[in-house]
Structure 1
């Protein structure tokens, strides 16, 4: 048991050391080697804890069945993302574009890198794979609507001189986004639950996915929260180092969003890859598209609420080139999940779009 729960133990230990001894040391950036070492330790421990969260979420999936299993994992990961971005927004110098850059990076990583790698992994082992068209269409319809409302429309509105939103727009966007996401969750978990379950799992009551549980459901839920806690508590320290590094290296601001996205998405990315490799493409679709949807549907309203109540500046609108690339990504995703079986060419297209995204970060 101790070996299995080492991510939680290591995370809580590092958190205790940071809070008891390390706050002042972490804020002292005079020793670059020490700062780099602290970053490696914090990032590694947070990644390790994130994978521990995945383990417990998959065990809970065994008890709950699909699509609740992937939903638990997705919401756990989004909780990490919201916490990190809220911490960054409320500490240090204001960075009005970080939430936008992070959400954009998450969407591009999920819909291009994660989907592309998963489709290719499944195609290499199984040639073509099937999924539920109704579920994929539901995901993509809501993702497309929320992405355009949140990340593209603010670029072209005239109420503000930059890509920020007015208080009225912020309230409207936050409410509409939250309501639409809540409606989707009702469809996913109640009215049309079978849209998001593999055919063989429907016959078995939706219990095909999820790792074998080692403890009772309540124990896995408690351990999930305890494993998630270090990620939440260490977010501020990691954010301080990331801000310093970006300023020191004169790196594009988007790099900060990518670092957060990698930290947040690594567990889901691995789970999606494993599911596709095992010919469970529907679970891979639930993980990847569900991650993109929850990022927009939960993170954007949370950031808008924080901005409204604290007066922290927030810019959501993407640059024109990024907006076009996001539109292309959404179009390609619609084609990939149009009903026909997936194949290796479709995965390659997603990876090419992701490579274009990386190029534009360093050469906009």
Structure 2
């Protein structure tokens, strides 16, 4: 399985390099466009599972904080590449980054968390998790969300939800700095906040200086190469997917926000499925780390990357959400704060989060 995933990815790359120009010229045939989109979508998701697997293997081998950095950066690279490919390949897609980040927040905090807590409540009645870790995530997610997706609508320097170059640079530095502090605490002195409450406690000094006893350099190099072998096909195929996605939205008259939802699903599918499996196995802390960690890394690293691309290329990027989305976002943040204010969860919290997710989907197609 370790080598099958990159093989399928590279086989798809080879076929698109050989036959892609002809296929792209036949997008007017809707059946062809739909078939190519489904093929690329599932190929990228399949290879993305390989990225997560290799990143987690490297995380175990390297220890902290390098392990967490490898896993986080691998997922963020995929997200930034997909956003950049669609943003640069389209003449008018200034809201793609905003739509993708908003979709990640709604899909993760309402869709996956809601479905997971509902499943966990039905199967286990009540589930426990490490409250300190969830609180730490939310303390970073809330300000980063407001700065990136809400504040641009209320500044007076611009009137279209965008940022001035000065604001973009300063907000990017602030975002990276805050995320860096969080990552340092998560992988260092407060690592115990992010393990299950019934896990064996570790002495603070031992946590700070913990490292694997020995690292097999050959195995490390092999898994690093496999990680690159899984990431590169996604990078190469993203341009073709972007063209098909852009064409499909224009041809069908679908809402432009649908592009952000598709990218969010592509990026978070492996971690989302892993989170649901963890909840089913009554490992709620791990699921929360996957879900809230994905949201934190998206806000902490994707926002600066997108703003940097905007400043470098001169392409406009609109980050401010429309009023209805701001209402949904604030409601989601408040609900998440209430859900993760108690160390036990039930199916009720899951049902409430899922109800907000349904409202989000309705508003996408009927704003």
Partner of 1:105: 103
Q: Does 1:50 find its partner at 2:48?
A: yes
Q: Residues of 2 paired with 1:217 and 1:128: CA distance?
A: 40
> How many residues matched?
356
Alignment of 1:149-164 (within 5 A): 149-164=147-162
Provide Cα deviations, 1:91-137, integer angstroms capped at 9, x if missing partner: 23131001000000001101111111221222222221221121111
Deviation at 1:271, TM superposition (A): 0.6
Partner of 1:211: none
- Given that 2:127 and 2:345 are in contact with CA atoms closer than 8 Å, whether structure 1 keeps it comes out as yes
Partner of 1:314: 317
- Given that 1:94 and 1:312 are in contact with CA atoms closer than 8 Å, whether structure 2 keeps it comes out as no
Provide Cα deviations, 1:303-351, integer angstroms capped at 9, x if missing partner: 1111111100110000011001100100111111113301110011110
Deviation at 1:219, TM superposition (A): 2.3
SS of 1:85's equivalent in the other structure is helix
Q: Residues of 1 paired with 2:337 and 2:15: CA distance?
A: 47
Deviation at 1:260, TM superposition (A): 0.7
RMSD: 2.1
Partner of 1:299: 302
Partner of 1:227: 230
Q: Residues of 2 paired with 1:195 and 1:295: CA distance?
A: 21
Deviation at 1:22, TM superposition (A): 1.4
- TM-score of the superposition, structure 1-length normalised? 0.92
Partner of 2:276: 273
Q: Residues of 1 paired with 2:265 and 2:165: CA distance?
A: 31
Partner of 1:93: 91
Provide Cα deviations, 1:125-157, integer angstroms capped at 9, x if missing partner: 222122112111110011000000000011111
Deviation at 1:191, TM superposition (A): 2.1
Q: Residues of 2 paired with 1:46 and 1:144: CA distance?
A: 30
Q: Residues of 1 paired with 2:34 and 2:6: CA distance?
A: 23
Partner of 2:18: 20
Partner of 1:138: 136
Q: Residues of 2 paired with 1:27 and 1:167: CA distance?
A: 38
- Give the direction of change, closer, same or farther, for the CA distance of 1:67–1:280 in structure 2 (3 Å limit): farther
SS of 1:96's equivalent in the other structure is coil
- TM-score of the superposition, structure 2-length normalised? 0.91
- Given that 1:80 and 1:231 are in contact with CA atoms closer than 8 Å, whether structure 2 keeps it comes out as yes
Deviation at 1:237, TM superposition (A): 0.4
Runs of at least 5 residues in structure 1 that lack an aligned partner in the other structure: 208-214
Partner of 1:84: 82
Q: Residues of 2 paired with 1:128 and 1:58: CA distance?
A: 28
Runs of at least 5 residues in structure 2 that lack an aligned partner in the other structure: 211-217
- Give the direction of change, closer, same or farther, for the CA distance of 1:359–1:89 in structure 2 (3 Å limit): same
